[in-house]
Structure 1
Amino acid sequence: MSTVAFITLGCKVNQYETEAMEGLFKKQGYTIVPHTDKADVYVINTCSVTSFGDKKSRQLIRRAGRLNKKAIIAVTGCYSQAAPEQVKAIEGVRVVLGTRDRGRIVEYVERAMQEAGIIDRVGDIMQAREFEDIPLYEMPARTRAFLKIQEGCTNFCSYCIIPFTRGPLRSRSLDSIRQEAKKLLDNGFKEIVFTGIHLGAYGKDFNAGITLYDAAMAVLDLPGLRRLRLSSLESIELSPQLLELIKNHPKFAHHLHLPLQAGSDEVLEKMNRHYTRREFSELLEEVREKVPGVAISTDIIVGFPGETESMFAESLDFIKKLDFARVHVFPYSPRIGTPAASMPEQVSEQDKKDRVHRLQKLAEEMAENFHKKYLGTVQNVLFETKEKGITDGLTDTYIRVYTDDDVLPGEIYKVKLEKLYNDGVYGKINECN
């Protein structure tokens, strides 16, 4: 029996796609082994969001080749879509896919076992028009289930390569979303997280008035669902109808991840973001008014070309006023082929490092203040992992909760939050919910 190992870099979408490909191999009788083991086949699902992602992808491809020089190495994902010739030049690579046609990966791998040379199936992603619907044949080994419902992006932010690696908008059908969600719930999952490359644009390619609200409604009445969460989406794409649903439906998590990216209007304009500081702030006020108690997290890029010290200071002050529950901080990374890579006034690595450190310090303070608001309250926690007698999980507001009480991963418990602990809080079980 042949063995296959998977290596995944990057986002939750990549993780979901790897799980779908794992199921395809298992269906054909392959045994999944750890990526550190010697395997007959290695599948590397790459990332190209940053130049570090490209570099890490190349390193892991080469490492797989060293583990077994006779292995079939198949490379897929954003890096192979953006730079297929670079991937093909790496010794040992036999199959190159981009960000579609993954449903036939087993076929291509088995062809490579019989034929010499490299099988290159990277096409023009900008011509893609349909969502690649690969059902999950095997269940992921997690307690929260990520469900990819959307592909592609047309925002074309000046720093981002993803629209060129993922192509135009494609949405999963409502019937398929419901079927996959039911399968996940039948296998014991309590929480489903909708994910996509441009999640808030779900349904726009259907030209039938279908939106993310409809996708949520397709699963909220399914037996067994305890919590529905949305991954990252743009604040300007939050419809009043969706906000009303988040507020009123007991199964909808009160957590939204809304990337700001910069707190300077000048930088936002250079980034080709489609809002100003004032508009973003007013949108957050509207969200908080319509969904009381909602937790809002965000992404910030530090050191974008032309960002001066005064602009960064302006961002720090603005971010602090927005009272985020969590802030993810990223240093700007030039991506060849994007407008930002050739912009003048590139910020030095030392300045980026210094600004990242300062913003991360603020982010830690904001997270701690957010957690303190919940001390003494009782929250529903879906527990996930257990290590050395400590089990951790998440509230619907995305607070990481730890306990040394005897709990089962994959179950939801009522927990009294007692004190700050690690990156979240420590709690004691009140009862199983």
Structure 2
Amino acid sequence: MIVERTRTQAAVGDAERWTAHNYHPLPVVVAQAEGAWVTDVDGRRYLDCLAGYSALNFGHRHPTLIAAAHAQLDRLTLTSRAFIHDQFATFCRELAELCGKDLVLPMNTGAEAVETAIKVARKWGYQVKGVPDGQATIIVADGNFHGRTTTIVSFSTDPDARDDFGPYTPGFKIVPYGDLAALADAVDDTTVAVLIEPIQGEQGVVVPPPGYLPGVRDLCTQRDMLFIADEIQSGLGRTGETFACDHEGVRPDMYVLGKALGGGIVPVSTVAADRSVLGVLRPGQHGSTFGGNPLACAVATEVVRLLRTGEFQRRSAELGVRLHAGLRSLVGEGLVAVRGRGLWAGVDIDPALMTGRQACERLAERGVLAKDTHGSTIRLAPPLVIEAAEIDHAIAQLAAVLR
């Protein structure tokens, strides 16, 4: 008897055959999507509770963003930064205003934006703070995830991200996340910046203790250092505020943004800072062929305008209460801990029951998509367009998996 493979099985097999194995995806092959739902090549629907690691904060194919992309595709898609296009200044101005900063520097990926922030901080340290050339240091936190370039993995504490990619880039000090005293002890005259995630996403949606972010802000001010907030995953409405730093009234010197800024359509990232910081760059010292391209700017401008209404921040805050209440009800019923803010949660499963990977596989079988990280932890980050009943559905499926 010959058993024909499903389209999913065939596509998974082809991917295994023809691509480098730098990811270990769930065996789900998505063909279409809208809002909070995706459909695979065999016609099965799934509730997307990962949202592209926050790249899809506004859901799949948000009509406003799709319309902006279509309109721009018919006009102009790329010029390079050798010229100025008609979408560029509008995007930069509106994002700068949203961030409360003077300037933005557009790039493409989150890792590019982090690299940009590192370069700017070092140059600022030499030209403004007066650190001797070649001696600038930046303090980071353990458990961080800022990307996977050679420089960034040099200060990662995740063996999968770091091992066998040396020699590593010097100039970084690693301290425990959330430990203000350890951070203060690490500062010296060469320290030009502190680079942290206001909430650590890849580590399992770890929220620092109250007062930590204000303490970092105060320390940076006192010791003449830049506070760089990597809000690539936590920013743009994900936690119930525009930025995760807003929960404690903190304004960093630099915002590093990405993921949701592209509306789930194109890669867009930026660094936003005042002129006293970004003004250290001169022509030819940094750039990207595709950074700030017309298509990216057209879509990202509409993202900024969606955020200006406050609707998505409110949805995340209000529906986040429902999400976290539902998850906390499962503590002791297979869950051992729940963390997070807004529509973002890290969930620790009793390791005696299953791994995070097994939990995500079983959730997928029940039509809910999530992603594991670090052993028995899974992350939930549904699009901000998700409805209350859909949150309840996701929690019910998780409860069934845990039984």
More strand by share: 1
TM bin, normalised by shorter chain, reads under 0.3
Structure of higher RCO (CA pairs closer than 8 Å, 6+ residues apart): 2
